Structure 1
Amino acid sequence: MVIEYVGETIRQVIADRREQRYEEEGIGGSYLFRIDQDTIIDATKCGNLARFINHSCNPNCYAKVISVESQKKIVIYSRQPISINEEITYNYKFPIEDTKIPCLCGAENCRGSLN
């Protein structure tokens, strides 16, 4: 285990409203991480360092939803030993959409987009 992705647990309808509000407020990015069909963790304003972990097409970590005392949580686990000063990354696994978000991970096997 590397770190838990911490934030406020919200429903999809609230996440949609917040994402729009964050854009209107000029917040550069939102940190919304889906747990399941209707539950999202919003770490935009009350998260921890996990929200700053970047995507990579060749990641050294992975994200997993676990249950602790019937509460779902997102935990980042390492795939391999991670060296001091090595960037921690995981695959965001964004859904495929027509409008592509460019990937800048620089991995040899980079897909070219996050979605």
Structure 2
Amino acid sequence: MAMRYRHLAATAKETVGVYRSDIHGRGLFCKRIIEAGEMIMEYAGTKIRSILTDKQEKYYEGKGLGCYMFRIDRDEVIDATLSGNAARFINHSCDPNCYCKIVPIDNIKKIIIFALRRIYPGEELTYDYNFAKEDIKLPCNCSSKKCRKFLN
């Protein structure tokens, strides 16, 4: 796994690109055939403590910035808003072609994006955000046949 991970940085620019998305804003798109099970890229950013996420989110809202955070576990979150990579642009879908997995690389937890199935050039990469259910519903724009209509 560690060897596959080290290969990611060298191949990411030839594998994916950020372009305008019909789902939301910008999205991450496939530039070459990606095989099922292939490790695509890391969701990178600054590791912060979970208790700081609400404060960071309010700060970003005040600055008019989008917020890109991904929970590693109960205690840690990757904040990709200011220092993340292109993985932060992967949009949600109720019928995704990718999935995320927390993988220990050299004893450090990394969020890795994998292909669920073969993905073809021009396809937008998506994964299910799996947001917790809340009273205030966030509408889903994925337009898939399996759409649940809400992200949460």
Alignment of 1:13-92 (within 5 A): 13-27=51-65, 29-92=66-129
Q: Secondary structure at the match of 1:2?
A: strand
Q: How many residues align?
A: 114
Structure 1 residues without counterparts, runs of 5 or longer: none
Letter in 1 for 2:42: E
Task: Report what 2:135 is aligned to.
Answer: 98
Instruction: Say what the alpha-carbon RMSD is for the aligned residues.
Output: 0.7
1:111 paired with 2:148, answer: yes
> How far does residue 67 in structure 1 lie from its aligned partner after superposition?
0.6
Kindly report structure 1 stretches of 4+ aligned residues shifted beyond 2 Å.
none
3-state SS, counterpart of residue 72 of structure 2: strand
C-alpha deviation, 1:17, in angstroms: 1.2
TM-score by length of 2: 0.73
Instruction: Provide structure 2 residue ranges, at least 5 long, that are not aligned to the other structure.
Output: 1-38
Given residue 67 of structure 2, which amino acid in structure 1 is its aligned partner?
Answer: S
How big is the shift at 1:16?
1.8
* TM-score (ref. length: structure 1): 0.96
Q: What is the one-letter code of the residue matched to 2:115?
A: S
Identity of aligned residues (%): 51
Deviates more, 1:56-65 or 1:7-16: 7-16
Instruction: Spell out, residue by residue over 1:27-86, the C-alpha distance to the aligned partner (whole angstroms, 9 max, x if none).
Output: 1x2001000001000000001010000100000000111111111010000011100111
- Which structure shows the bigger proportion of residues in helix conformation? 2
Structure showing greater radius of gyration is: 2
